């Protein structure tokens, strides 16, 4: 009996890209959120040693860059879509039985690197605008509260803080939706950065329920992974990237 292909979506089309590309993204069933994580795990088990090595190298790069004030943090955010694009290219190769090595992490620098960096730039611009708005709301409430006096002023400051946090979450979630599929669209289909972010947001929005299921399960798994001194993240990072590829392939390919 032939081995069942885990990257087969309902209807018989291959999630590796065997179906027709849909730039608008397809709508899938709610339960597919769990299936993406299963497929991410299956990709991890195909070559766990290389996956863990990639996760370690990526974490070291991020830590080293974060030690450089301002410039290092910006560089890390600008380069993250490039690393993501390379890993996703590796996921596709691994899923199709092709080569998969440590150099996968840097494959994004050889293919559409400029546009992948622009995804990071646009993300940082969006995050900076959101942070500025949140600061204005929170800071304005704190200043007003200070002028009102100890009693009502404290209430004003606390209320402003909660409003600021709600605004932050309300705006960061759409921004995260915009970058979720963007590196894959740029790396696989050479979609322009802003167009990729728009398509990513639209696809996430029309699959909101599957992503809620996916997000809840992923959050629980990440909490569990952090318990043993965070070592579980050496597995969760590869599984998450594999699940991103699985979700992209099913919705777009």
| Residue range 42-57, pLDDT digits in tens | 999 999 999 999 999 9
Alpha-carbon 205 to chain mean position: 15
Q: Are 31 and 10 in contact (CB under 8 A)?
A: no
User: How confident is the model at residue 145, as a pLDDT?
Assistant: 53
- Which range of 31-40, 134-143, 147-156 scores highest in mean pLDDT? It is 31-40
What is the model's pLDDT at position 1?
39
**The model's pTM:** 0.81
* DSSP helix/strand/coil, 150: helix
Backbone angles phi, psi at 113, to 5 degrees: -60, -40
pLDDT at 139: 62
Asked if 42 contacts 3 with a C-beta cutoff of 8 angstroms, the reply is no
Question: From CA 178, how far away is CA 191, in angstroms rounded?
Answer: 13
Q: Which whole number is the average pLDDT over 13-34?
A: 74
Binning pLDDT at 50, 70 and 90, where does residue 11 land? very low
- Calculate what percentage of the chain has a pLDDT beyond 70: 83
* Residue bearing the bigger pLDDT, 125 or 24: 125
Residue 13, pLDDT above cutoff 50 = no
């Amino acid at each position: 009996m032939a081995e069942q292909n885990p990257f087969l979506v309902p209807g018989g089309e291959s999630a590796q890209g065997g179906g027709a590309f849909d730039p608008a993204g397809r709508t899938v069933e709610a339960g597919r959120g769990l299936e993406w994580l299963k497929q991410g795990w299956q990709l991890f088990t195909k070559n766990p040693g290389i996956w863990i090595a990639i996760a370690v190298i990526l974490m070291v790069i991020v830590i080293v860059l974060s030690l450089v004030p301002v410039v290092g943090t910006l560089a890390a955010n600008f380069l993250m879509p490039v690393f993501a694009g390379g890993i996703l290219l590796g996921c596709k190769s691994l899923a199709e039985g092709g080569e998969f090595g440590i150099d996968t992490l840097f494959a994004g620098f050889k293919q559409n690197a400029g546009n992948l960096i622009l995804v990071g730039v646009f993300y940082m611009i969006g995050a900076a605008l959101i942070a500025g708005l949140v600061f204005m709301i929170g800071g304005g409430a704190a200043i007003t509260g200070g002028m009102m006096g100890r009693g009502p002023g404290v209430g004003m400051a606390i209320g402003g803080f909660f409003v600021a946090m709600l605004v932050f979450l309300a705006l960061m979630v759409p921004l995260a939706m915009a970058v979720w599929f963007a590196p894959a669209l740029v790396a696989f289909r050479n979609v322009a950065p802003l167009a990729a972010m728009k398509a990513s947001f639209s696809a996430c929005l029309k699959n909101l329920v599957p992503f809620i299921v996916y997000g809840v399960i992923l959050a629980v798994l990440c909490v569990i992974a952090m318990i043993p001194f965070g070592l579980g993240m050496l597995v969760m990072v590869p599984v998450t990237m594999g699940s991103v590829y699985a979700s992209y392939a099913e919705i777009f390919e």
